[in-house]
DNA sequence: AAAGTATTTAGATGTTTATTTAAATATCTA
DNA sequence: TAGATATTTAAATAAACATCTAAATACTTT
């Protein structure tokens, strides 16, 4: 769970997650949305992968990333449990 | 919102929040739950204050901290909006 | 097989962050 | 008012992190 919160603490990574909410995308497509280098985006993606916030699949020379809703749910539970009477 | 996620990225700060969920506490009481120095806890509390995740009130020589449920709700909304169809 | 495209890995650099000890500030009590 | 307690601020340090360029790997196309 620490990995997940650490992953979410960076604005670029949160933005990546917001894009992936809309549709699955290749690493290159994701990188095109940002003004930072592809290696840097690749690094952010590996942190998101490691936290299991995103899933990935190889498709030829591309790698397609998608949101892992299961882990998103798990983080939400942490917040839910913060409410009174839990 | 970035401040909030940054604040939540540290395990000590998340633990503080979990304690404050149970009851309001003074800085000293909070510090006693941890094996790190009081100045370090004070620093963590100032980050949580700054992110408005906690509220505080002076009571004599003590400072009483409490959870700010309003901001907790706002973060939860970010996750809710990640669900399909939002 | 060679050249081109997509992605990741490696190594380097500057910044941010968590922590500590020591000192400062504020309040309480005898 | 002097001494004790609670909390924060300051200054220093070591570790973690985001970013870059250059190089490596993997796949596709001609």
Tens digit of pLDDT for each residue in B4-49? Answer: 999 999 999 999 999 999 999 999 999 999 999 999 999 999 999 9
Q: A75 exposed, middle or buried (CB, 10 Å; 0-12, 13-18, 19+)?
A: buried
Taking only the tens place, the pLDDT of each residue in A25-57 is: 999 999 999 999 999 999 999 999 999 999 999
Q: A60 exposed, middle or buried (CB, 10 Å; 0-12, 13-18, 19+)?
A: exposed
For residue A6, say whether its CB is under 7 Å from any atom of strand C.
no
DSSP type of residue B10? S
Place of tokens 């940054």: B6
* Residue in A with minimal Cα distance to B22: A84
Q: Rounded to whole angstroms, how far apart are CA atoms A75 and A77?
A: 5
What pLDDT is recorded for position B85? 73
Report phi then psi at A34, rounded to 5: -120, 160
Q: Identify the structural domains of chain B with CATH numbers, from first to last.
A: 2-80 (1.10.10.10)
Of the candidates B2, B21, B82, the beta carbon closest to that of A21 is on B82
pLDDT reading at A86 higher than 80: no
What pLDDT is recorded for position B86? 77
For residue A62, say whether its CB is under 7 Å from any atom of strand D.
no
What pLDDT is recorded for position A83? 84
CA of A40 to C1' of D14 (A): 25
* Residue in B with minimal Cα distance to A8: B5
CA of B3 to C1' of C25 (A): 27
What pLDDT is recorded for position B19? 98
pLDDT reading at A84 higher than 80: no
Confirm if A51 and A3 have CB atoms less than 8 A apart.
yes
**Nearest chain B Cα distance for residue A21, angstroms:** 6
């Amino acid at each position: 769970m620490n990995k997940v919160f650490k992953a979410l603490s960076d604005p670029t990574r949160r933005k990546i997650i917001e894009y992936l909410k809309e549709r699955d995308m290749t690493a290159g497509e994701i990188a095109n949305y940002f003004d930072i280098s592809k290696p840097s985006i690749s690094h952010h993606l590996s942190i998101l992968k490691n936290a299991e916030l995103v899933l990935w699949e190889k498709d030829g020379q591309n790698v397609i990333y998608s949101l892992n809703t299961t882990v998103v749910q798990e983080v939400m539970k942490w917040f839910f449990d913060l409410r009174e009477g839990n």
